[in-house]
Structure 1
Amino acid sequence: MERVKDHRYLYRREGFLYFRRGVPQDARAAFGGRHEVWVALETGDVREARHLMVKHLAEFDNCLSTVRRTKSPVAVQKQSRVPLRIEIEEAVREVLAERLARARTDYFMPEDRAAGRELVAILTHQESMIARGLDLEANAEVPLATEWAAAAIIERYGWELPTSHPDYWFLLQFVAQSQKEAVQQQRAAINGSPLQTSDDRFSREQYQSDQERRRARENNGPVSLIGLFDDYAKERKPAPATVKAYRRQVAAFVAFIGHDDAKQIQFADVVAWKQHLLTVPNAKGTVRTAKTVGETYLSALKTALKWGVENAKLKSNPAEQVRVRAPRPLKLRSKSLSDSEALTILRATLTAPPARLSAERAFARRWVPWLCAYTGRRVDEMAQLRAEDVQKRDGVWAVRITPEAGGQKNNEARIVALHPHLIEQGFVSEVSKRTGSLFYDPSRHRGGGDGNRQSKKVGQHLAEWVRDLGIVGVAPNHGWRHRFKTLAKRHRLDPTIADYIQGHAPRTEGEHYGDIEPSVTLAEIERLPAYKLSTIG
């Protein structure tokens, strides 16, 4: 890639022009960790490329200025300064390593000896030009490529190094030496010669020393709290909805304390945040409950900080001992749907849906409550069922509840038999007429991350519908899970099988062993009597 004369960020490669600009070290996080930004302008005309480049320059500068205005100590404010010579050497070695890495992918071995000799001649000429430019007695100008490389390094690291400064000449010399080193290694590769370092300042030992210094700087520098959570999420891979919610709470804490350096967080900061959450109304004008603060907000913060301690990023977790103490809430009723409430909901599933309701939502109203009533599964799990998940296994009609279909708390596929009453009502027959997702249309997804699942929206719609039926004082969806447990006790279902049907984890190590076949779940589900809707009223 060759820079276009008199155009600082414009480069030409194989006839096409590119916008190329080095990213200062203090802003790389905002640019996805990149050291440089390259954008193909898809034109070979310099005049056209100049106009196209204006947009990318503005975007680059806006991003850079945003980073440098932030109060976060992780995004270090630009402090123009003269670098130490060891910093100059370290920076040039880093750029050399990047150049050689690009050469291994950008340059191909010549097809024949003639092409090889021509390429070697070009590299030899480049080497002589670099050497001549540094020879003061030769009175030759420093090659533009060397000056451009030096200018890019100065900008990349945010240095203050005018051309009149003595260390600018040191930088030019070392950049030139690195260019010679690159040429020599490329020429050796073409000739099939061993790759040797002609300057000890580019030896493997020097690169190892650079890495050690970088690690030391990282250990002494700030640690992003949000970065800790993101690293935890990459390793643990929790449900997308959990990642979305927890990251939002961590970001809320960062906004509250005014910085994103986990090393600076104090026990008092966490306590102050807790008190703020418990006393200051949220955007909806309501005060958060102690349970919400403890199990959602503080839990997210503790998770991120705990991961930092476990991975040697932090020495301690300042949130570990923070607790939310609150009086036990008054329990005015059971968490389970009552017999009459269950019958009210199930009876409503048989009524004609509003004309404006989509076919998928109407299908969800008709069948999801029944599926939850006879399995005790989470509404979200039922709402993400696909036609292929309703299948016959060993002569038993069942539903396959699998994380492949969407979010699932324990990430474990389970096959649960369908209650005969569901088959009698025609559920299997109706499903056989459909393909793909049963209760929502994937083509209507409005985008967003995995945390914005359509099945979750189905559950929210059903909850609102149940509330409109007059069911209050109990969770409209989760109440089915508590009710299944009530019925399991009432009709003496095997506790191990009942837990499996509902998706609860085994209670003992021994219960982890062996498979629970569909016929086994059917035998227990059949203990539940069919709902008789005629008993209402």
Structure 2
Amino acid sequence: MKGHRYLYRRGEYLVFRRGVPKRARAAFGKTEVLTSLGTGSISEARHLLARELEKFDRLLAEVTGTRSPAVVLDTIKREPTAEEAEEGVRLWFAERVGRLVDEVNTITDEDRAVDLMRDYDALSGDAAAGMRIGSESAMMTDWIVEALIERFGWQIAPSTPLHRRLTKLVGRGQMEAARRFAQEANGDPVRVLDDTFSPEQYRLDAERQRERMARTPVSMMGLFDGYAKERKPAAATIKAWRRQLSAFVAFVGHDDAAKVTPEDVVAWKDHLLHKAGKDGSGLSAKTVGETYLSALKTTLRWAVENRKLPINPAETTRVRGAKKVRKRGPGLTDVEANLILKATLTPPPPRLSSERVLARRWVPWICAYTGARVNEITQLRAEDVAKVDGIWTIHITPEAGSVKNHIARTVALHPHLVEQGFPAVAGKATGYLFFDPLRRRGGSDENPQSKKVGEFLADWVREIGVDDPDVQPNHGWRHRFKTVSRNVRMDPEIRDRIQGHAPRTEGEGYGDVSPEATLREVSLLPKYEMPFDGC
């Protein structure tokens, strides 16, 4: 099990497994120790594992004459209230019942069901006997109590009233769990005989939890750190969202997400729409909704999913701005496409670096024939251009840099790119084709060199006359590819795979698209006829 050395899962149970050193195998009588811990719960198994480790190390020390290392458990933090202790037991009980229901649903052998029934009855009997006055609590009950104390960071001294109360609650939970198993196994109606574990108590627990969370400060930036650590978004996304969340914190005047109200979010939205622009006129509805509010909503949604907050105060906030009026489509026109491609064949400025000369010459052509995102092409390496099954391809992979869907894809090169000699150019190079990592000056993961190459190309395209603000100089190729591919009746599924778009259905996500299939489809695209003299 990840994070737990010597702990393995075997079917529904966890086991202790540890190899025996050669010098001690005669005494152990085996090459490894393999012992079932009798539970599927990691929190329960950790204490059982500690005991098995202690026994193993003690015997090893006796055999080898070495000192047995101490088993160190986590530092316990504070004493809970009786109410919190009871809530903790109910949480453990709910998890235990969930596992036993899964057990029942997966049993196909009646003898197995009978054996499990006996096991649960035995555990229930041991727990009941241990609860009688003057009796010692059952060993399994004690182990569960210790696991709960460690799990919640409680400080409860043995033999105290709170410890005895906790032990009795766990014992009652074991008895109720045995009854629940019998009900589930026999198909009987579920009846809770111990009110401690009734639905009403769980409702009250949830209500108290919400109240406590409302009183406990929760750092907004801390929540984002938690989200970023788990989700691992792109470095550029982390940088942008951290800036946007910092703007929200500055606007409301505090960093406590638990105090944020829906009214705070609406007020921030209005501020962004009407005052936050550089000239004081505000940001566009698209920017506010898809950038600023998106960062806030996603972070708070993660907080709710991970029980850091009871509700997401930004969930229902929407931006209802007027749609932007477009006088044209977002794709490059025939005239614009030909203007750019013709310009790639003109002599470059004398002081332009060799990498940028290659970028200016080849990136627009590759985008034209693949519909790829410009930064997926500007981060191509020489080894990403290769023959696969006799077909020249490019391999767009997250190993080279950011890929939006985080999935690598291999796309056949259009025959016209091969005809122009792009594979030969790539074959003479090593490493990145369109920038030199050694020339990096103050760049970062959030603003990589490949992105700077894309920005250079966008500026150059504007300079040569493609200056309509309704078309993006690089992304326009991506829209144009979709238009042209429809005109030539390219297979929609393969077209989307070529461009790295998400499958439209679950079925389309199955299997791979071969270089042969992508070559067949990209070859449908008509050649861009240009004068290639001297190029």
TM-score band, normalised by shorter chain? 0.5 to 0.7
SS of match in other structure, 2:153: helix
Among candidates 342, 345, 348, match of residue 347 of structure 1: 342
Which residue pairs with 2:518 in the alignment?
Answer: 521
Distance 1:379-1:512 versus aligned 2 partners, 3 A rule: same
Task: Give 1:235 deviation, angstroms.
Answer: 1.1
CA separation in 2, counterparts of 1:205 and 1:436?
Answer: 53
Which residue pairs with 1:314 in the alignment?
Answer: 309
CA separation in 2, counterparts of 1:407 and 1:368?
Answer: 17
Task: Give 1:207 deviation, angstroms.
Answer: 6.8
SS of match in other structure, 1:269: helix
SS of match in other structure, 2:399: helix
Which residue pairs with 2:235 in the alignment?
Answer: 240
Residue 365 in structure 1 maps to residue 365 in structure 2: no
Which residue pairs with 2:75 in the alignment?
Answer: none
Which residue pairs with 2:297 in the alignment?
Answer: 302
CA separation in 1, counterparts of 2:342 and 2:417?
Answer: 14
Among candidates 153, 160, 164, match of residue 211 of structure 1: 153
Task: Give 1:287 deviation, angstroms.
Answer: 3.1
Alignment of 1:60-99 (within 5 A): none
Cα RMSD, aligned residues only? 3.4
- Residue identity opposite 1:348 in structure 2: A
Distance 1:300-1:210 versus aligned 2 partners, 3 A rule: closer
Which residue pairs with 1:468 in the alignment?
Answer: 463
Distance 1:286-1:455 versus aligned 2 partners, 3 A rule: farther
Residue 490 in structure 1 maps to residue 487 in structure 2: yes
Contact 2:371 2:481 in 1 (8 A): yes
Which residue pairs with 1:509 in the alignment?
Answer: 506
Contact 2:277 2:283 in 1 (8 A): yes
Contact 2:274 2:280 in 1 (8 A): no
Task: Give 1:252 deviation, angstroms.
Answer: 1.1
Task: Give 1:212 deviation, angstroms.
Answer: 3.5
Task: Give 1:510 deviation, angstroms.
Answer: 1.4
Q: Unpaired segments of 5 or more residues in structure 1? A: 1-108, 117-202
Distance 1:284-1:518 versus aligned 2 partners, 3 A rule: farther
Task: Give 1:282 deviation, angstroms.
Answer: 3.0
Distance 1:268-1:426 versus aligned 2 partners, 3 A rule: same
Contact 1:391 1:399 in 2 (8 A): yes
Among candidates 261, 266, 271, match of residue 261 of structure 2: 266
Contact 1:239 1:408 in 2 (8 A): no
Task: Give 1:253 deviation, angstroms.
Answer: 0.6
1:285-344: CA deviation from partner (whole Å, max 9, x where unpaired): 663110000000000000110000010000111111111111122120110100010000
Contact 2:386 2:392 in 1 (8 A): yes
- Residue identity opposite 1:441 in structure 2: D
Which residue pairs with 2:320 in the alignment?
Answer: 325
Among candidates 366, 378, 390, match of residue 383 of structure 1: 378
Task: Give 1:483 deviation, angstroms.
Answer: 0.2
CA separation in 1, counterparts of 2:448 and 2:280?
Answer: 27
Residue 481 in structure 1 maps to residue 478 in structure 2: yes
CA separation in 2, counterparts of 1:522 and 1:532?
Answer: 19
SS of match in other structure, 1:529: coil
Task: Give 1:229 deviation, angstroms.
Answer: 1.3
Task: Give 1:472 deviation, angstroms.
Answer: 2.2
Which residue pairs with 1:289 in the alignment?
Answer: 284
Which residue pairs with 1:85 in the alignment?
Answer: none
Task: Give 1:508 deviation, angstroms.
Answer: 1.2
Contact 2:435 2:450 in 1 (8 A): yes
CA separation in 2, counterparts of 1:323 and 1:225?
Answer: 20
Contact 1:246 1:300 in 2 (8 A): yes
Which residue pairs with 1:531 in the alignment?
Answer: 528
Question: What percentage of aligned pairs have identical amino acids?
Answer: 59
Alignment of 1:83-162 (within 5 A): none
Contact 1:229 1:303 in 2 (8 A): no
Task: Give 1:445 deviation, angstroms.
Answer: 2.2
Distance 1:213-1:475 versus aligned 2 partners, 3 A rule: farther
SS of match in other structure, 2:411: strand
Residue 417 in structure 1 maps to residue 417 in structure 2: no
- Residue identity opposite 2:379 in structure 1: Q
CA separation in 1, counterparts of 2:450 and 2:398?
Answer: 13
Which residue pairs with 1:438 in the alignment?
Answer: 433
Residue 454 in structure 1 maps to residue 449 in structure 2: yes
Among candidates 396, 399, 408, match of residue 404 of structure 1: 399
CA separation in 2, counterparts of 1:341 and 1:279?
Answer: 35
CA separation in 1, counterparts of 2:456 and 2:520?
Answer: 33
SS of match in other structure, 1:533: coil
- Residue identity opposite 1:234 in structure 2: K
